[in-house]
Structure 1
Amino acid sequence: MSYRSGHPSAVPQPHAHNQARPAAQRPVRPARPAQRPAADGNSYTIAHAGKQVRIGPVLFWIVVGTIVLLGGWTGVTATYFTFRDDVLTRLIARQAEMQYAYEDRIAELRAKVDRTTSRQLLDQEQFDKKLEQIMRRQSLLESRAGALGALPDVAVTGSIKPARTPSFDSEPAGRPKPSPINDTVIFVAPPDREARLQSRTPPAALERPPTQYAKAQGIETVLTRLQNSLDQVEKQQIAALGAVEESYESRARRMRDVLGNLGLNSRSLEAAAPRGAVGGPFVPVRAPSANASSFDRQLYRISVSRAQVDRLTRVLTLVPYRKPVVGDVELSSGFGVRTDPFLGRPAMHTGLDFRGSTGDPVRATAAGKVVSAGWAGGYGQMVEVDHGNGLSTRYGHLSKIIAKVGQQVGIGQVVGEIGSTGRSTGPHLHYETRIDGDPVDPQKFLRAGVRLAGAG
């Protein structure tokens, strides 16, 4: 028990066990005079078993504070151990919830990345397929252009005209070409693939997904433009091929009509016509299969028509449908009945008279062999050329004979010069056309020549 010193009632009390003793057993102690503690208003005294301990206020409050802290720590510790399982359970549940949330988020991001990667691969595969188709189509058009180039009188159409570098911010001025397309994308054909996409864009730009890159760089637009360009090229090739086929068919048709109208046997003329080829092994022409493209079938028809035109052209080299003189020459007398210039009576004129000047060249109207070259009565100086199959031409009243008997002459070759020899009243050329020795109107052949000129 403590008490403050100097208090009059602060007297130490005996312990209970001492009080419980019987009075007879208590030892008799000598009485001591009562001593009062020194007066100290700030100190505390603790008495126990007759002993007193005096402590200061600082130490007292330290002890009290320590006891309070120990009591609080004891309470907190007891509370912790009491509710520890619940707290741990909540913490574990919260950690598990957070872990599941992170795992779900990671799985979602992974699925998104997988979808993006799959879309990128699909886009790249589609681009590769489109580009491969374009390259194959371009190769096909180039081969068709080579086939068209082998045809005479046809403009080769098989390549895209170069255009200025297109900008994706504005419309291009012309069609792009396959390679290169522009300054950012180049289409090449490496050894391992027929076509692959290469880019001049910096590596930083290539790190973006292909879909964004495709949208930014306009690859899809370039492929579309290239497809349109190839479509235009193919249309031009088809149009050119159709025009060539129509031209050959028209020429062959006109040639056959001319031969028919002239009453000539085309088979006999073909047998006598000069052959362009010299020789070689015989390789039959194979018609295109049923699976062949329309271009190949049309090209085969053109080849057949071209061969027919070539054969008919060789036949027509033996037909005298050209003029024997060049330039605009006046026709002074036609074929048929006329008034004889010497006798003034009706007479048969067996040819055409072309007025000219002495010394003007006279040319063969068809290929053939000179069978006569000299004086021939009323013809004067005359040259006769046999063209085969009963066809022959005569050139009379010449002032000079150039061709010789037995000479092979070609179309347009000079055989003599205009004159006024024989039964003539002035310088002119008397021109005759004969079939099996009978004179026929040369105008019929000349009109056929005009028609054939339209077929050329």
Structure 2
Amino acid sequence: MRTRLAIRTHAFLEKHFPERRVFLKSDSDTRFIRLRPETQLIAFTGASLLVGWTIIATAIILMDSIGAGNFREQAKRDQVTYQARLNDLSAERDRRTAEALAAQDRFNAALDQISAMQYEILTSETRRHELETGIEVIQSTLRDTMREREEAREMLAALQGQEGADQATVMLASKDKDAPVAFLADALARTAEERDKIASDAEEALLHADELVHEIALMKENNDQIFRQLEEAMTVSVAPLDKMFRSAGLPTQRILDQVRRGYSGQGGPLTPLSFSTRGEPISPDVERANRILGELDTLNLYRIAAEKAPFAMPVKRSYRFTSEYGYRRDPKTGGRRMHNGVDFAGPSGTPLHATADGVVTHAGWQSGYGRLIKIRHEFGIETRYAHLSKLRVKVGQRVSRGDHIGDMGASGRVTGVHLHYEVRVGGKAVNPMIYIKAAKDVF
């Protein structure tokens, strides 16, 4: 059986690879090498394998070269795009910083103007009441003067009616003949003088009353202008703060009520004006002033609330924004997972600052986060600062917005130096950029 198979195999090889002889001739001798079919098959197979390996290796090298070239080009394009994005973010940050400083200056100027206008309102209101009191005194004096004038006229008429009867009596009396006439003449002269004086005083009182009425009209116009400026200032100051809280998704009325309860004290932040002491209805100016004071109270409440919510940036020096909030590719495993905060990259040791007033509830190591600081704020808000190189606060410590709480580092589960910053409301993570962007035109 083996012989037949060998014979068939040899015949097949003889058909495709017939035996060949290679002659080697020299000057003195001639030799030959016989190439059997099996030898030719082995040589052909080896040559085929060598050619195939050469082709495959060449293809791999070409593919690697093409891929490397494409990768380098893509890397260059990504680098240019990333650099352009960094430049845009830097320019946007500088522009927002300038806008925030300008808004803060406008806010401070508005507060100064409000204080000055409030003082002018109180001064003008006091002056107005003084003028009203003066007018009432003048009117009372004028009424008394008119009443005395009427009494003098009646007395003069009575004296003139009795003059005829007194003349007969005077003519009958020889001794005292000149006495009643002199008395009557003196009384008439005094009455005439008093009448002229009363008329002059009345005329002067009327002129003074006209002047007071004109002065009160000018004062009311000035007060109206002051009120308009105050109302415009309140609108300019309160509207951006209200928009900031609403953009962050915070319930403004509930927050204002909570701040008001915490900062009430005796009389509240501001006490409404009340100038009426005789049971008279409140004037429109007083109602307008009370409305402005109410808006000023709201402004103060918003200002206090803004210090307690994380509207500030945790990094004040140069940084790179390296990762957004939301689902992303995990830098360690490559899988897709939720990123509960935002990342700011910078040099190791970069100072980090509290973004709002609060109390430190955690300052130590936590798995994955590395060195971590947790701060509890008002309104159920918590902020987290992870991967720090150094902690500068302790548990239970009360911090204010802008306080230096730690330094940027690379502790925990990281690929480089950066800050992982989180904002949680009611224990649920939210996008921190909502708060930062909401405050871009205010701070």
TM-score class normalised by the smaller sequence:
0.3 to 0.5
User: Using CA pairs below 8 Å that are at least 6 residues apart, which structure has the higher relative contact order?
Assistant: 2
Instruction: Using structure 1 for the length normalisation, give the TM-score.
Output: 0.45
Instruction: Using structure 2 for the length normalisation, give the TM-score.
Output: 0.46
Q: Which one has a bigger Cα radius of gyration?
A: 1
